[in-house]
Each structure stands twice: as structure tokens, then as C-alpha cells.
Amino acid sequence: MDVQCLLDIKGWILLAIALLLTMYMYIKWKFGIWHRLRIPGPDFMPYIGQMKQFREKGLAQLDVELVQKYGRLVGLFFGSTPSLMISDPELIKNIMVKDFSKAPNRFALITRRDELKYSLTDVVDDHWRFIRNTILPTFSSGKMRKMSSLLQVKYKMLLDALNKRAAEGEVIEFKEVYGNYTMDVIASLGFGMEIDSQTNPDNTFVKYAKELFTVKFTPLLILAAMSSKIDAVLNYFKISPLNNRKVMEFYKSAVHQAVGMRDDTDKDRKDMLQLMLNAHKDTDRNEIEETHTYENPEQWKKRGLTVEEITGNSILFLLAGFDTTASTMTFMTYNLATNPECQDRLIEEIDSVLGTELPTYDNIQKLEYLDMVFCETLRLYPPATRINRSNLDEMDINGIKIPKETELTFPVFAIHRDPEFWEEPEKFDPERFTPENKAKRSPYVYLPFGHGPRNCIGQRLAAMEAKCALVYILQHYRFVTCSETEIPLELSKDALMKPANGVKLKLEKKITD
């Protein structure tokens, strides 16, 4: 072998070493951010982050352990994305409310390219302000009252289905039952479609909805999380790590068909679809937002919502209102069955305040103990185990300069189970939510719907949907445990809170005088 050949080989080897060294130094710098900022956190693998632990333990349990071990600020990585976990209530207040303009958007790990890119959770900045202000009146008290008649039809169908099973002494899996109920509600109120999931749980609308909620840490999702470039390549080949394109096409077609069928005779229908079609002309005030006004809100109302925006937000209401509300109702039912003294007190309140009067948006506001049970259930089992924001520019947090576009994540489940904020945090105790006890603690240790301008816009609807149905059932039955009731409950490892194996209980007919 001649000298020139040896020199060429040596040159290539040196180049390879230089490239490897450069790559090593880049990875060390990129993934050394939390070490440089002296923010504690667990060990991780570059480009994988804590995804292995997420899959093994689930977000809820992992977050509890991380806060206990590392404190109120924890440095994490999800794939290649740096994530700062914050569980200090004052910092949460500053980011969500006081300095909202510095971190007004939700953090998106993967860029949405389907219909949901037009939804409230995904739009950003001025587009978000327009969508939020346009849709906001849809969730006013006045609109909730107008939706009550549609809701009554659905909770009566729910009780009819339960009556047959209770008469036979059947063990009932309530997560499934409530899922059918909330699907009927959201299809009617969100899409203007009448389906009967109680008697036909295998219809296409329900089938595809369940597929939408099956988002797991698949290899494809992990690949997309590793780099935005990989996500872009997947998109080029029309591959989505988040959902099935066929499913999204079904709901897109459903909304377009529902919109196309609307004519002058439908304009008085009080569902969310029609309210969104009329939203830009609406002047109803939403009391939730009284303390969070925006400058010149009328400037965002110069046009109506496009079909794409209506489609995206209709699908969002399905995602946000179907499974999360069903799970909350399931956990409420479980808490009442396993705490019969609380159930007795609630039934006594319902009997004395409402009697046999049908529950409505207005009369359930009189049930103070019902609200305490609802709030305590959301504390123990918040629908979202985490919520997040993204800072537009470098942001000072506790004197630490956090780089722009970092995920600022708030471990809701861990905060709700933190003994520093909640005495005996694992115990179900509705008394935590008396006016006196609420006044003793920071509101920023209770985050089931978030806080500030970007809080959950549909919280009033979710509460009405859950409370009315449960009150109607308790006007006729009691929830009781049985040999198949899982105590304590095993929780799912998914990002959305739900019982891993459902909740199995029986119904016991109330004894009336």
C-alpha cells in the first residue's frame, strides 16, 4: 500500500473522529442545559429523555416521585425537548396569570397537521385570541341554560339503560356506561347528531371516538418526539404519530355534513355547532372570564369562524368532553360508593333541595355539597395529569434564565396529592372545599381546569353534564360496592386520568316513604 493511500485512510479516520467528537460535544451541550442552570433532575438518555419511565410508571406516579425527590423545580427531557416541571404555587400564578403574556401558548411537542391545528389548544397568539373570544359566549350561563333541555333527554336515556340492569341485580361497569352517556351528549351538543350509544355502543361514531383516545407511547410517537426533523419526514409521507387519518376524515365529514344541512329552521337549535356558527354575532358575557379580559376584544370579531375552525373545535370538544367527563363521573361514583356517609349526605341534600324536580343548570347550583364532592373528586383524579405552557422569550424563573420555547409543565396530579398543600392527600374528604377551607390555601394548588386566560373554556359544561346525570341517578338509586369492586383503584398509566380496569358497582333502589 503506497504512502498516499495510507495518508488518505488516516485523513478519513481523523475526519470521522472529528465528526464524532463534534457530535458528542453538541449532545453534551444540548442535553446539559439543566446541569448548567443547576436545576436538579433524574438521569436520562439523550433523545429519549424520560419516555421509558413514562411508559413504565405512567405520568401521574412518576411526577409524584420526581417532586418528592427533586423539589419544586425539576429539569426533564421528553425526547429531545427540555421540560421544566414547576410545582410551586407562586410560580404557577406568575406564569399562568401575572406574566401570562410571556408564556401565552401551550407547548406542542409535535406539530399538528390535521384538523385540530385550528382548535383552541393548538392555535397560538392572535389566532388563539380570536378563536377564544369568538367561542367564549358559547359557554356562558345563558347558553348552558338553553342546552339544559338537550341534556335532559340524554340523562333520562342514561337512567333508562341503568334501570334494566339494576332490576336484574347486574354488576355495572360505570366507566363504559358513562362513556356512552357523554358520547351521546357531545354528539348532540357538539355535532348536532343524535346517536344512541346506550343501546348501540358499537356505532361508527363511538368506535372512531375510542380510536381517537388511544394515543400511546408508540415507537412512531417516540421517533417523532426525538426530533422535529423526523416529524417533518413522517408528515412528508403522510404518516401521523398521533392518530389515524381515517378517523379524522370521518369527523371532518360529520361536521361538514352537519353544517351543510343547517338551514333557517335549524338556527334556533341550542347546540354548540349552531352556537359556533352564530358566535361572531354573540354578545353574551362569560362570567369565568370576568378577570381575564383582552385589549379591544371586538377587533377579533370582524369575521365568523371558518368551516376549518368549526371542524377543529368540534373535534376538540369531542376529545375534551367525552372521555374526561366520563372518567370524572366514574370517579365520583366510586368515591360515593366507597364513602357511604358522604353519599348519604349528598342524597339528603338532593332530596331536601330538589326533591323529584329534574336537575337543570340553575337548580344544581343550589347543591353546595354536590359541588364539594365534584371538586374533591377532581383533586384526587384530575382529568389531565399535567398541563403546560411555552415561553415566547427567555424567562426569569426564581432568578434562573430559562431559554425561550422551553416546555413549562405543571404536574397537576402530583400537586393535588402533595402533603404540603393537602392534609392526608390520599383521603377523599369533600370538606376541603368548604368556603372556609378554600380560603386557607392558595388557589394555585388546585388545577383541574388550569388558571388564567388559557383555562379550560368548557369547565361549566363539563360540570353541568356530570352533575345533572349523577343527581338524576341519586334521585332513584344508591351506588353500592360489590365483590367485583376494585379497592383501591388501579389508575391507568395514560396522560389522561382514568381507572385502569373500570369501576364495577351495583345500584340499590332508594327506599321512599
Walk along the chain (513 residues) and give the pLDDT tens digit of each residue. Answer: 565 665 567 666 777 777 777 776 767 777 889 999 999 999 887 767 777 788 788 889 999 999 999 999 999 988 778 999 999 999 999 999 999 999 999 998 777 777 888 889 889 998 999 899 888 888 888 888 888 888 999 999 999 999 999 999 999 999 999 999 998 998 887 777 788 888 877 777 777 777 776 555 555 555 555 555 555 655 655 556 555 667 778 878 878 777 777 765 566 666 777 778 776 555 555 554 444 444 555 555 567 788 888 888 888 887 777 889 999 999 999 999 999 999 999 999 999 999 999 999 999 999 999 999 999 999 999 999 999 999 999 999 999 999 999 999 999 999 999 999 999 999 999 999 999 999 999 999 999 999 999 999 989 999 999 999 999 999 999 999 999 999 999 999 887 899 999 999 999 998 764
- Which CATH number goes with the domain that contains 262? 1.10.630.10
> For residues 339 and 373, what is the distance between their CA atoms, to the nearest angstrom?
11
| Residue-level pLDDT at 258 | 76
Domain span holding position 47:
32-509
**The three grid cell numbers given for residue 227, joined into one nine-digit string:** 426530533
Measured CA to CA, the distance from residue 213 to residue 68 in angstroms comes to 30
Crossing angle of helices 307-321/323-338, nearest 10°? 20
Give bridge partners of residue 479 from the DSSP assignment: 507
Residue set of the binding site for heme: 456
Does any domain span residue 44? yes
**396 within a domain of the structure (yes/no):** yes
Burial string for 243-257 (b: 16+ CB within 10 Å, else e) reads beeebbebbbebbee
Asked if 240 contacts 179 with a C-beta cutoff of 8 angstroms, the reply is no
Residue 39 domain flag: yes
Cβ within 8 Å of residue 232, ≥6 positions away:
none
Q: Which phi-psi region, left, alpha or beta, contains residue 140 (left: φ > 0; alpha: ψ -120 to 50)?
A: beta
Edge-to-edge strand list for the sheet holding 504-509: 172-173, 504-509, 477-480
Does 19 map to a domain? no
Q: What does the alpha-carbon distance between residue 223 and residue 285 come to, in Å, rounded to a whole number?
A: 44
- Asked if residue 419 has a cis previous peptide bond (ω within 30° of 0), the answer is no
Encoded amino acid at 361, one letter: Y
* Structural domains of the chain, count: 1
Q: What separation in angstroms does the CA of 51 have from each of 29, 41, 115, 192, 194? A: 20, 14, 27, 39, 40
Asked whether residue 15 is domain-assigned, the answer is no
Instruction: Tell me if 5 is assigned to some domain.
Output: no
Q: By the 8 A CB rule, do 114 and 108 touch?
A: no
Q: For the chain, how far is it from start to end, CA to CA, in angstroms? A: 106
Distance CA 188, CA 192 (A): 5
Flag whether 18 is in a domain: no
181: in domain: yes
